[in-house]
Amino acid sequence: MPDQALYEEVARFFSERLNMAVSRADEDLLDNGILDSLAFVDLLLYLEQQFDIRIAADELELEDFRSIGKIAGLVAAHLGLKTAGAA
């Protein structure tokens, strides 16, 4: 399942690159203070490089980054757009 693969990929970034343990796909990264500005910069750079997508600064929405599940969804949407644009 592609969404599951995306989720696992993002989860691995949190645990291996940010050294942050996130236990569930829907764990709230904002309320729990896991995702702060410092981690966010690394996350965005990672998403853009890893998935070859571009997320414009004025399109950033808190809800898209609330959990690893949501982040995977954001990536999937961008990948979908990219595919649609290429078709």
Tally Cβ neighbours within 10 Å of residue 71: 23
Give how many residues touch another protein by CB under 8 A: 26
User: CA of 86: how far to CAs of 2, 54, 76, 81, 83, in Å?
Assistant: 19, 15, 15, 8, 5
Q: Give yes or no for residue 50 binding another protein (CB under 8 A).
A: no
Both tokens of 38, joined, read: 């410092």
Please select the residue that binds another protein; options are 16, 83, 84, 85, rule is CB under 8 A: 16
Binding status of residue 52 toward another protein by CB under 8 A? no
The span of 2-10, 52-60, 71-79 binding another protein (CB under 8 A) equals 52-60
